[in-house]
Structure formats: structure tokens, C-alpha cells
Amino acid sequence: MPTVTFTKEKKQIEVPHGTDLRSAAKKAGINVYDGLNGFGCQLNALVNCHGLGMCHTCRVSITKGKENVNPLTLREKIGFHIPIPPPPLPNPVPACLYYIGHEETLRLACMTKVQGDVEVETGPKLDLFGENFFS
């Protein structure tokens, strides 16, 4: 069985092949709904699309094992590349802005199926201008 490691929470869990990361996180007691850089995460835990890939609030970053998950789904491609205006709450920032600086690793937990061992960082931060913007 594949192993999913949540790096921020320092938790590791074995899941059946094909399990989505949202279900694995819920099984481990981890909230993947981060809000805007942590603000509003409790509200996002209640107000979300419940795994349908429409709210884009369950963003995670695959730090190791990108080859062990399914390719980007159509919902992810649309949400990450087209600036669809989100509702005012709980997260007023379009998902495409979170994609900047995380192009290789950003995924939606509800749309990402585990096919092997992966390491996941929950709640990647908004990196609009890049790490070296002010240097």
C-alpha cells in the first residue's frame, strides 16, 4: 500500500492504491482547507465543495513522488490557469494566483489520486512575486 507523508503535520499514513489525498488527510485528521495563507481555514473546512474539485480550497504541494500521482485533471487545469473570480468568502483569491511559483507541485487534494509513495505539504503559501522578488 502507498504511503502518504504530510510534512508540516509530521504524519504518515498508508492508503489503498487510488485514494485521493483529501480522503487520506481526513483519515489522518488533517485539515487541507487552508484559506488565505492560513486565515479562514476553519471556515473553509465547513464551506467547501466536499471533494468535487470546484472550490479549489484544498490546495496541496507534492514535494516528493510527483510521478506517483495522476496527471492534472481538467478541473485543476481550468482552475489553475483561468482567473475565475471566487466567491467573496471564504477565500477571496483565485486559485490561479496560488499556482504562480508552484507550477510543478501544486495540486488539489480532492483530485489527486495516490498511486505510490508521496510527500505532501498542506496549505502552500501565496507566492505572487516569487521568493527573490525583493532581492
Task: For residue 82, give the CATH number of its domain.
Answer: 3.10.20.30
Beta bridge partners of 133: none
Indicate if the pLDDT at residue 11 is higher than 80: yes
Across the beta sheet with 3-6, the strand order is 11-14, 3-6, 118-122, 59-64, 106-108
Q: Mapping DSSP to helix (H, G, I), strand (E, B) and coil, where does residue 44 land?
A: helix
Q: Is residue 133 part of a domain?
A: no
CA distance 15 to 2: 6
CA atoms within 13 A on the CB side of 44: 25
Q: Is residue 82 part of a domain?
A: yes
Q: Is residue 131 part of a domain?
A: no
Q: What's the confidence (pLDDT) of residue 13?
A: 96
The residue behind cell 484559506 is: 35
**How many separate domains does the chain show?**
1
Q: pLDDT higher for 96 or 72?
A: 72
Torsion region of 94: left, alpha or beta (phi above 0 gives left; psi -120 to 50 gives alpha): beta
Indicate if the pLDDT at residue 82 is higher than 70: yes
Q: Is residue 95 part of a domain?
A: yes
The residue behind cell 465543495 is: 49
pTM: 0.80
Q: Which residue range is the domain that position 36 belongs to?
A: 3-122
Indicate if the pLDDT at residue 43 is higher than 50: yes
DSSP for 102-113 reads: -TTTEEETTT-B
